[in-house]
């Protein structure tokens, strides 16, 4: 028996296609508020959910109509059809929900870190006493196309000064991923964060529920099929480095993530350190979709642009986006050395080497990278660590002389790392249905094969559509 009124949050239906002749972009969110639910001027059967000034068309459940006063769907005889004109109070001061500029006196480690332009070393360390962190990050699916290439980079033979093997961070997407391979990498101490399940474009303009489904669903897939504990998946990266404005960061905050690494930084002379989002970001937002509100304690690990003097090869957040394809391995090595020196010779901000599979499809690039890694690991003050290890150090910075005995960068294996995977995984051929598209997808895992290919709304592949219901950690 239907109840008299319905919660929009539960029964909201997002329309992914044009309804009649009306398009979402025809509706303009009110500039005074920018966020909230607003009546469709054409029909009471629909309304718009505005998030940070962007409208998303929604429809009430069958038989219900949008009440523009109460802002929920109810029965026709009770719905006050809109738009109903309101007279907002004149603005006498700036919005209180916008992040302020950095206040170093109020922003203290370990809970907060900021600086005026983002270039300040944490803990007041001198550059020569600061370990140079290198972050190797890999985006997308892990499978036969790239697994052996990744293993060549992270072969266990390249070590930091304390004798521990170098580590990397993977931002995993779901489609075409091999979860036995992912479990193997995680069991060796490499970090896994989430990208998204579908890698859909335009996610930056979607609402809260879409971000929850993509991010938390991907975390659940890693837990279920690669045995990676939820407590170990604490970071994420938005598809195409297009952050989801304040919406994505609200999901990070509410579901227990520690950091995001989606924000691109322009080609600046001095690189930017990671910072918490207590305050306004200290640099230009390249994507135009960065957060504008304050999210205390949530870390941003930005992607500084890679470039050399004269911009030969261009500048890029992902190394495979710079045009180095005509170089031989020695020239690639020299290009990486010059790019790296801007960090090492100045403020020693973490040098993030971000890759897609594309880089490893060109032998000259792969060999040039191997030369760089072999050279960098000879430097006693250079450390290849995971993103979480880097942030752990930032919360309580230690000088170079203390790092060799720094426990968070040691070789002791965490108890909650997954065990080494099975030798012979289950090879699952699964039905995959999406909109009007039906296909077969293959999934390899050490757990039992699911009933259907895991996807949005059904992360475990139960075959029950829209089964998933994720509750924020802070509820």
Mean pLDDT computed over every residue of the chain: 88
Q: β-strand 54-59 against 46-51: which pairing, if any?
A: antiparallel
Q: Is there a contact between 177 and 141 (Cβ–Cβ < 8 Å)?
A: yes
The alpha helices in 191-328, defined as continuous H runs, are 208-226, 245-254
Q: How far apart are CA 227 and CA 419, in angstroms?
A: 8
Q: What is the pTM of this model?
A: 0.79
Instruction: Please name which of 399, 300, 407, 419 lies closest in space to residue 348, comparing C-alpha atoms.
Output: 399
| Average pLDDT estimate for 284-296 | 94
Q: Is 107 in contact with 288 (CB distance < 8 Å)?
A: no
- Residue pLDDT, tens place only, 228-280: 999 999 999 999 999 999 999 999 999 999 999 999 999 999 999 999 999 99
Residue 17, pLDDT > 50, answer: no
Specify the DSSP class assigned to residue 408: G
**What are the φ/ψ torsions at residue 372 (nearest 5 degrees)?**
-65, -45
pLDDT computed for residue 70 by the predictor: 65
pLDDT by residue (tens digit) across 378-389?
Answer: 999 999 999 999
Distance (Å, rounded) from C-alpha 225 to C-alpha 178? Answer: 9
Residues 363, 331 contacting (CB under 8 angstroms): no
Structure tokens at 126: 């001198």
Q: At what angle do helices 329-344 and 363-376 cross, to 10 degrees?
A: 40
Retrieve residue 183's tokens: 């479990």
For residue 368, give the H/E element and its range.
Answer: helix 363-376
Give the pLDDT score at 35. 62
338 vs 351: CA distance, rounded Å: 12
3-state secondary structure of 85: coil
Per-residue tokens: 53? 């000034």
Question: For the chain, which domains are there?
Answer: 8-75 (2.170.140), 122-409 (3.20.20.370)
């Amino acid at each position: 028996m239907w109840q008299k009124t319905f919660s929009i949050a539960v029964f909201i239906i997002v329309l992914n296609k044009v309804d009649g002749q009306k398009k979402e972009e025809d509706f303009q969110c009110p500039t005074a508020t920018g966020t909230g639910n607003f009546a469709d001027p054409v029909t009471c059967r629909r309304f718009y959910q505005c998030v940070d000034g962007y409208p998303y068309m929604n429809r009430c459940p069958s038989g219900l109509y949008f009440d523009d006063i109460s802002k929920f769907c109810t029965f026709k005889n009770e719905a006050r059809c809109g738009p109903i004109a309101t007279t907002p109070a004149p603005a006498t001061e700036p919005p209180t929900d916008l992040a302020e500029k950095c206040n170093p006196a109020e922003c203290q480690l370990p809970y907060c870190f900021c600086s005026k332009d983002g270039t300040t070393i944490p803990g007041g360390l001198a550059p020569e006493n600061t370990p140079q962190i290198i972050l190797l990050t890999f985006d997308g699916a892990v499978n036969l196309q790239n697994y052996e290439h990744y293993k060549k980079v992270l072969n266990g033979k390249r070590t930091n000064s304390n004798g521990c093997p170098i580590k990397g961070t993977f931002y995993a997407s779901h489609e075409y991923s091999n979860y036995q391979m992912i479990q193997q990498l995680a069991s060796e101490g490499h970090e896994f964060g989430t990208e998204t399940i579908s890698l859909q474009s335009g996610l930056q303009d979607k609402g809260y529920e879409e971000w929850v489904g993509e991010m938390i669903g991907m975390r659940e897939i890693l837990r279920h099929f690669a045995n990676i504990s939820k407590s170990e998946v604490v970071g994420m990266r938005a598809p195409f480095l297009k952050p989801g404005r304040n919406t994505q960061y609200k999901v990070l905050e509410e579901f227990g993530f520690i950091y995001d690494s989606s924000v691109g930084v322009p080609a600046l002379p001095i690189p930017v350190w990671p910072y918490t989002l207590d305050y306004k970001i200290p640099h230009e937002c390249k994507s135009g979709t960065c957060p504008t509100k304050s999210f205390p304690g949530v870390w941003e690990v930005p992607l500084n642009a890679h470039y050399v003097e004269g911009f030969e090869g261009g500048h890029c957040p992902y190394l495979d986006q710079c045009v180095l394809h005509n170089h031989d391995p020695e020239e690639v090595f020299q290009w990486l050395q010059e790019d790296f020196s801007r960090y090492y010779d100045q403020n020693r901000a973490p040098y993030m080497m971000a890759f897609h599979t594309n880089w490893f499809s060109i032998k000259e690039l792969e060999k040039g990278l191997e030369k760089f890694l072999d050279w960098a690991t000879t430097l006693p003050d250079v450390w290849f660590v995971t993103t979480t290890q880097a942030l752990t150090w930032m919360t309580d910075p230690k000088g170079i002389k203390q790092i060799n005995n720094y426990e968070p960068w040691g070789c002791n294996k965490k108890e909650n790392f997954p065990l080494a995977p099975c030798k012979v995984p289950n090879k699952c051929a699964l039905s995959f249905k999406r909109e009007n598209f039906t296909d077969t997808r293959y999934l390899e895992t050490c757990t039992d094969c699911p009933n259907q290919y895991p996807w949005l709304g059904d992360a475990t592949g139960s075959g029950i559509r829209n089964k998933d219901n994720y509750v924020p950690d802070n509820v």
